[in-house]
Amino acid sequence: MRWFLYNVLFAIGYTLMLPKFFLRMRKRGGYRADFGQRLGRFAPEVAARLAEKPRVWIHAVSVGEANLAGAVLRELRRVAPGESFIISTTSSTGHAVCEKLAGPDDVLIYLPVDFPHIVRRALKGIDAKALVLTESEFWPNLIRACHRRDIPVILVNGRVSDRSAPRYRRLRCFFAEVFDCFAAMLVQSELDRQRLLDAGAPADRVRVAGSVKFDVAPPAEAALETARSTLAAAGVAPGADRILMGGSTWPGEELALAQAWAAARQAAPDLRLVLVPRHMERGDAVERELAAAGFRCLRRSRMKAGRETQAPGPDSILMVDTTGELFPLYALADLVFVGKTLEPNVGGQNMIEPASFGKAVLCGPHTENFAAVMDLFRADGAIREVADAAALRQAVGELAADPVQRAALGERARRVVEAQRGALARTAQVIVAHLK
């Protein structure tokens, strides 16, 4: 009965989400490609490759998880060089990132929707040694079906948010059965472990491994060169200009940053602003909002296409409305605001990446998705939290004008990242131990 109710409720929820799904498809593009894979139907050439030999299946829902999966992939290739992989994703942006991660012997697919008949159809043609899920990707029918087929299911970098924990506890009678299908659950913190245990996860299979995101690898030189070229085309010179960057920004944050930047330039006239919205399809909306407030935007998408008509200048904002360029840009920034943190109920974005470069990092008060990580940064005074747009304006002004304070904050952040490395090796070790 529990599984019947889940499938009914999931079907209702999925149906209600379809209009939003198709709207995003139209705006973002890319969703139409290989749409049949979401229904468990693979083109003959893909089906042949999925069935040709056993592979380790790693799933990453979108860009952030894709970058995490990339780190796990690199470590697995190092410790188990004979393995090949199936890489699945949910979003077209995540798919674009995973295309760069996949090797010639790997297979890249979209995750089938979690309906029983679709999952069964997909698994008939997939030869998997193990299924590796990232963070909080709990797809009950897929997990159960893999378990029944004796495919080990492993959670890596697991976390349970403040919002999710009460739901898991209330539905313990259902989730205990789902979690019992896991061969191993590697979580970021003791709090995450306790929350899974409270939801019925088997104690002997839940282990604190730390956050894999602390093991972030530096970007390739080619990616750094692309980032430098992007900045140069916008008239921004790293080292000569000071760069304020808004990473993975959310509605409302772009304008708040632009206003903070404008105020800070009175004391720091060489300060330039680079915005990287969380969703690239918001580019038009962001540009309209900034234009209405008197700001001028140069857009990376137009620059790549040779369609940017505005001349670069110190008064222009560079908006990077493309996929997969944020991380190397962090390396060239001086001061970073991590987005999705000013607005409640959206959870925050990854502050580890800019911290790994020793950058001075700002964020808002809403970082629920990174609660354990934030505790580590707070303990060492390695990140500056701002309560609202007014506090952001004050913090940007202070740090832009004070290189000593900025450098000290960035160095503390870098030391926190260095001290927490090691989760990646522990994670790969557990995965390899479960491979047949």
Q: Per-residue pLDDT tens for 248-259?
A: 999 999 999 999
pLDDT tens profile 62-91 = 888 888 899 999 999 999 999 999 999 988
Task: Write down the pLDDT at residue 10.
Answer: 81
What pLDDT does residue 26 have? 66
Percent with pLDDT over 90 in the chain:
79
Q: Any residues with CB less than 8 A from the CB of 24 and at least 6 apart, and which?
A: 31, 281
- State mean pLDDT over 179-184: 98
200-221: per-residue pLDDT in tens? 999 999 999 999 999 988 898 9
Among 210, 188, 213, 226, CA closest to 100:
226
pLDDT in tens, 86-113: 999 988 888 888 888 889 999 999 999 9
The enclosing H or E element of 296 equals: strand 296-299
pLDDT at 28: 61
Q: Is residue 25 scored above 70 in pLDDT?
A: no
Query: Per residue in 342-359, pLDDT tens?
Result: 999 888 999 999 999 999
Asked if residue 429 has pLDDT above 80, the reply is: yes
In this prediction, residue 4 carries a pLDDT of 86
Residue-by-residue DSSP string for 2-69: HHHHHHHHHHHHHHHHHHHHHHHHHHH--SSTTGGGGGT---HHHHHHHHHS-EEEEEE-SHHHHHHH
CA distance 376 to 3: 39
**Mean pLDDT computed over every residue of the chain:** 93
Report pLDDT digits (tens) over 384-400: 999 999 999 999 999 99
What is the enclosing helix (H) or strand (E) of 170? Answer: helix 164-170
Angle 56-58-60 from CA coordinates, rounded to 5°:
170
Instruction: Give the domains, in start order, of the chain with CATH numbers.
Output: 30-211+421-433 (3.40.50.11720), 221-419 (3.40.50.2000)
Q: Are the beta carbons of 350 and 338 closer than 8 angstroms?
A: yes
Q: Is the pLDDT score of 48 beyond 90?
A: yes
Least confident of 19-23, 26-30, 178-182, 367-371: 26-30
Task: Give the SS3 label for residue 198.
Answer: helix
Residue 7 reports pLDDT greater than 90: no
- Closest-CA residue to 146 (of 128, 158, 133): 128
143 backbone φψ class: left, alpha, beta (φ>0; ψ -120 to 50): alpha
249-294 per-position pLDDT tens digit: 999 999 999 999 999 999 999 999 999 999 888 999 999 999 999 9
Confidence check: pLDDT of 30 > 60 = no
